[in-house]
Amino acid sequence: MKLRFTKMQGAGNDYIYLDCRQTGLPPDPPALARQLSRRRFSVGADGLICIGPPLLADADAAMYIWNADGSEGAMCGNGARCVAEYLYTHGVDKALIELDTPGAGRKTLLRTGEQMWQAGMGRFSTRAEDLPAVGLGAGPLLDVPLVVAGRSWRVHCLSMGNPHCVVLCDKTPPTGGALAAWGRALERHPAFPRRTNVEFVRYYGETLLDVTVWERGSGATLACGTGACAAAAVLVLRGQCPREQEISVRLPGGTLMVTVLADDTVLLSGPARAVFTGEVEV
C-alpha cells in the first residue's frame, strides 16, 4: 500500500504528516510511526502526525501524534503550527485556525507572517497530578530534589498538556552523549509513571534562553515547542523572566518565541515549513 505524505518541520522538529480528513486514520498508527520515523531506513522523522476531521463542528481539524517509538503524544507545539500551515495551504484559507487535540484540548493558531504561526498553548500546571508525577509532593513542583543514577538534581516539573522536567544549567546545556545519557535517565525516572520530556536550560538574560531537549518517545530533537514553553514558564515563575513579553528560546534547530501571560496561559510563535512531499510503500 502506498501512502502520500508531507514532511514538515518547525525549528528542525520534523514530523511526517498524513492528511486523513477524508480517509480516516491508518491502521495501526503506532507501528506506522515506528516504521516511517527510522532515519536512513525510511522517510525519517521525530514522529508521525495525522490530520483528521474536527472532533467538534466549530474546529477546522484534529491532530493526532505518535512519537518515533510509537508511543502516543499528547501535544506538540511545533506540530500544531505545521498542521495550521498545511491546512492554510490546502484549502483552509483562514489566518485563524482552530485545532482539536485529543490529549490537550482545543488550540487556536494565528498566522503572523509567511510560514509563521502563533499557537495558544493553554495554561501550564505545576501540580503533580497533572503531569503525572509521584513521590515529589503535590506541587508546585519547583526546585525539587531528584536522584538519578547516584547524582542529585534540582528539577522543575510542569505540564503543558504533556509532562516536562526542566533542569537549569550553569554552563552550556548538554548535547550528544551527555544529553542522551541524562535525558533518557530523567525521562524514565520512576517519579514519572508515564515518562517525561526533559529540557536542559541555560539562562542568559530575562528574554533569552538556550535549551536542549530530550523528548519522551523520540529522544534528542532539534526543537520542542512545549519544551520551549515549559522552560520559559519555569524562569517566569522564578522571577528571572518577565510575563507579557516575548522570550527568545534558542534550540539546536532554531529560535522559538514564548510569551507567558498573567493568567499562566502561554503563547508560542515560530516557523512552520513544508520540506517535501512524497509517497511511501508500507
Q: Specify the pLDDT at position 5.
A: 98
162 is known to lie in a ligand binding site: yes
113 is known to lie in a ligand binding site: no
pLDDT at 168 over 90: yes
Report the distance separating Cα 176 and Cα 184, nearest Å: 12
187 is known to lie in a ligand binding site: no
Given its phi and psi angles, is residue 44 left (phi above 0), alpha (psi -120 to 50 degrees) or beta? left
pLDDT grade for 177, boundaries at 50, 70 and 90: very high
Compute CA 226 distance to the chain's CA centroid, rounded to the nearest angstrom. Answer: 4
Cβ–Cβ < 8 Å for 225, 13:
yes
pLDDT digits (tens, 9 = 90+) for 80-98: 999 999 999 999 999 999 9
Q: Specify the pLDDT at position 127.
A: 98
pTM: 0.96
Active site residue 76: yes
Q: Enter the C-alpha cell of residue 266.
A: 502561554
177 is known to lie in a ligand binding site: no
pLDDT grade for 1, boundaries at 50, 70 and 90: confident
243 is known to lie in a ligand binding site: no
Degrees to nearest 5, angle at CA 131 with 125 and 135: 110
227 is known to lie in a ligand binding site: no
pLDDT grade for 76, boundaries at 50, 70 and 90: very high
CATH 3.10.310.10 occupies which residues in the chain? 2-121+271-281, 128-263
Q: Specify the pLDDT at position 154.
A: 96
pLDDT digits (tens, 9 = 90+) for 220-264: 999 999 999 999 999 999 999 999 999 999 999 999 999 999 999
215 is known to lie in a ligand binding site: yes
Helix 225-237 vs helix 77-88: angle between axes, to the nearest 10 degrees? 130
Give the number of residues written for the chain. Answer: 282
pLDDT at 103 over 90: no
DSSP state, residue 70: S
Q: Specify the pLDDT at position 61.
A: 98
Active site residue 82: no
DSSP 4-27: EEEEEEETTEEEEEEE-TTT-PPS
Q: Specify the pLDDT at position 150.
A: 86
Which class for 232: exposed (0-12), middle (13-18), buried (19 or more C-beta within 10 A)? buried
Find residue 166's DSSP bridge partners. Answer: 156, 199
* Candidates 50, 82, 165, 224; catalytic one: 224
Q: Find the mean pLDDT for residues 33-37.
A: 98
Q: Which CATH class is domain 2-121+271-281?
A: alpha beta
Q: Enter the C-alpha cell of residue 199.
A: 529540557
**Single-letter residue type at 129:** E
pLDDT grade for 216, boundaries at 50, 70 and 90: very high
As a three-state string, the secondary structure of 165-193 is EEEEECCCCCCHHHHHHHHHHHHCCCCCC
The whole-chain average pLDDT of the chain stands at: 97
- Fold type of domain 128-263: Diaminopimelate Epimerase; Chain A, domain 1 (3.10.310)
216 is known to lie in a ligand binding site: yes
β-pair type (208-215, 96-101): unpaired
225 is known to lie in a ligand binding site: yes
* Candidates 76, 82, 165, 241; catalytic one: 76
pLDDT at 149 over 90: no
